[in-house]
């Protein structure tokens, strides 16, 4: 019995140490299209963001295409130059390296790209003259107003991303602690049964 107690204690300590990486804060990083640029964030799921951190941008073959730097809130913007999958890497120190991607299909249209050719010539003047006011397309929304709306939406979505990440981390922590508690409980039950058996053996003698 005396030998088992130190052994059980050592096992529990190993479980706690092994759970260390699971209890540590996870890296929070992501990139998404925002108008004609790519916007992203880098930090930790506990809310600590990576301020003034270099973010390198690569293609899928590992060729570096550019870089960006996060602001005080851990956010960055990058203007794409190629319509390819973008791989972002940021070194947060202490062994934490964030690697995240944005698929080519989600990359904003590259500025200066040639518009697709419709294969038709200019419309005859008679057709243009025949257009009536009723058939005219509605006026487009001003570009500055569109940008303001998009920026407002992004500002509202940013806190939600952090809250979702923090919620996931909290539940992961509860799962780990619950598992450790369950194992410790099994050890306690084993000690009780062994002590009871030993007591009965001594009484029988």
Q: Which residue ranges form the domains of the chain, and what is each CATH number?
A: 4-109+151-204 (2.60.40.10)
**From the first residue on, what is the mean pLDDT of each consecutive set of 10 residues in the chain (205 residues)?**
50 49 66 88 82 95 96 92 96 89 91 49 49 52 67 66 62 63 74 77 68
> Quick check: helix, strand or coil at residue 28?
strand
Stated pTM of the model: 0.53
H-helix segments, 19-135: 20-23, 125-130
| Dihedral, CA of residue 52, residue 21, residue 9 and residue 177, to nearest 10 | 100
Residue 125: what are its φ and ψ, rounded to 5°?
-65, -35
**pLDDT at position 116, please?**
43
């Amino acid at each position: 019995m005396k030998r088992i107690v130190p052994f059980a204690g050592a096992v529990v300590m190993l479980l706690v140490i092994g759970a260390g990486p699971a209890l540590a804060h996870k890296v929070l990083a992501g990139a998404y299209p925002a108008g004609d640029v790519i916007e992203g964030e880098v930090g930790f799921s506990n809310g600590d963001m990576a301020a003034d951190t270099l973010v390198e941008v690569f293609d899928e073959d590992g060729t570096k295409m550019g870089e960006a730097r996060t602001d005080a809130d851990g956010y960055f913007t990058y203007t794409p130059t190629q319509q390819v999958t973008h791989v972002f890497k940021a070194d947060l120190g202490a062994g934490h390296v964030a690697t995240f991607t944005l698929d080519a299909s989600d990359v904003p249209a590259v500025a200066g790209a040639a518009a697709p050719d419709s294969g038709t010539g200019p419309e005859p003047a008679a057709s243009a003259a025949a257009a009536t006011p009723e058939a005219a397309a509605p006026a487009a929304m001003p570009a500055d107003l569109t940008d303001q709306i998009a920026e407002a939406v992004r500002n509202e979505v940013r806190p939600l991303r952090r809250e979702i990440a923090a919620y996931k981390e909290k539940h992961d922590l509860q799962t780990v602690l619950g598992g450790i508690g369950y194992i410790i409980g099994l050890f306690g039950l084993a000690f009780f049964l062994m002590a009871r058996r030993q007591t009965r053996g001594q009484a029988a003698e």
